[in-house]
Amino acid sequence: MTENAIITARGLRKSFGPTEALRGVDLDVRRGEVLAVMGPSGSGKSTLLHCLAGVVVPDEGTVRVAGRDVTALDEAARSRLRLAEFGFVFQFGQLLPELTAADNVALPLLLAGTPRGRARTAAHAALARLDLAGAERRYPTELSGGQAQRVAIARALVTRPKVLFADEPTGSLDSLAAEHVLTAMLDLVREDGTTVVLITHDPRTAAHADREVIVRDGRIGASSGMVA
C-alpha cells in the first residue's frame, strides 16, 4: 500500500453479464491528492469510480477507505458512509428542479440530520465560496450551465467530505465555462485538503490533477504525475 493512501483497491473485478468491466484493478489514492482517471468510453473508468465509492460492489477484490473495508459493508452502511464522508459531482449536476440553489446544497446536510437553520447557513456559505452569493433563491432552470454545475459542486462539498468523486464534472459545458468550474472546484478541494477522484476523457481537464491513471479494457494501463 502506498504510504498515506486514503483509498486502497486490490484485485477489483466486476462484470455486467458477459462483459468484464474491471479485470483485476489495483489502485492507491493518496490523502489530499487530485487523481484523474482517464480512458476511452467503455474502458471501465466509471465502474471503477462506483466501486471505490461503494455504489457498486465488485465481484472480487477489496476497497478500503481510511482503513475501513467498504466491500464488507451492507448497503445501509455503505449509504451512511457515502452521506457522511463522500461527495459526488456528475456530468449533468443532477440538481432537483423543484428546489432552489440553497435548498439543493442544504439537502445532504438535512439528510444527515443537521438542523434546518444550520444547514441553510452552511449552504449559503458554500455557494458564496463558489461566487454564487445572490443566487440562493434561484431554481436550476434559472441558472446557466456553469452556475448549475457550481451549485452541484457546492452541494458535494458542503459536508466537507473526505473524498470527492467527480464523474466528467465539466463534460456538459463549453470550454470557457468548463475551465472556470474546474478551477473553482479544485481551488476549494485543495484549500480543504479533500481527496479527489476525477473521471475524465479530456486531457486538458486531467492536466489539472496531481496524477493521472489510464484505464483500458478494465485494467490500469499507465500512471503519470506526482509520485509520493
Express each pLDDT in 108-167 by its tens digit: 999 989 999 999 999 999 999 998 999 999 999 999 999 999 999 999 999 999 999 999
**pLDDT grade for 222, boundaries at 50, 70 and 90:** low
Strand partners, 36: 198, 212
Q: Say which DSSP state 99 is in.
A: S
The total of other beta-carbon atoms located within 10 Å of residue 71's CB is 17
> 54-94: per-residue pLDDT in tens?
999 999 999 999 989 999 999 999 999 998 899 999 876 68
Q: Where are the alpha helices (DSSP H) in the chain?
A: 45-52, 75-85, 101-111, 116-129, 145-157, 175-192, 203-206
Q: What is the pLDDT of residue 136?
A: 95
Q: What is the pLDDT of residue 125?
A: 95
Sequence letter at residue 52? L
Average pLDDT, the chain: 91
Burial class (CB in 10 A: 0-12, 13-18, 19+), 133: exposed
CB neighbour list of residue 13: distance below 8 Å, 6 or more residues apart: 20, 22, 23, 24, 25, 58, 59, 60, 61
Per-residue b or e along 150-169, where b marks 16 or more CB atoms closer than 10 Å to that residue's CB: bbbbbbbbbbebbbbbbbbb
Write out the three cell numbers for 53. 465509492
Task: Provide the edge-to-edge strand list for the sheet that holds 86-89.
Answer: 86-89, 163-167, 195-199, 34-38, 211-216, 219-225
Domains, the chain: 28-43+74-210+221-225 (3.40.50.300)
| Percent of residues, the chain, with pLDDT higher than 90 | 76
**pLDDT grade for 175, boundaries at 50, 70 and 90:** confident
Has residue 227 got a pLDDT over 70?
A: no
Contact indicator for 29, 7 with CB cutoff of 8 Å = yes
Q: Is the pTM of this model over 0.75?
A: yes
Has residue 226 got a pLDDT over 70?
A: no
Has residue 104 got a pLDDT over 50?
A: yes
Q: What is the pLDDT of residue 221?
A: 80
**Torsion angle (degrees, nearest 10) of CA 208, 209, 210, 211:** -130
Q: What is the mean pLDDT of residues 160-188?
A: 89
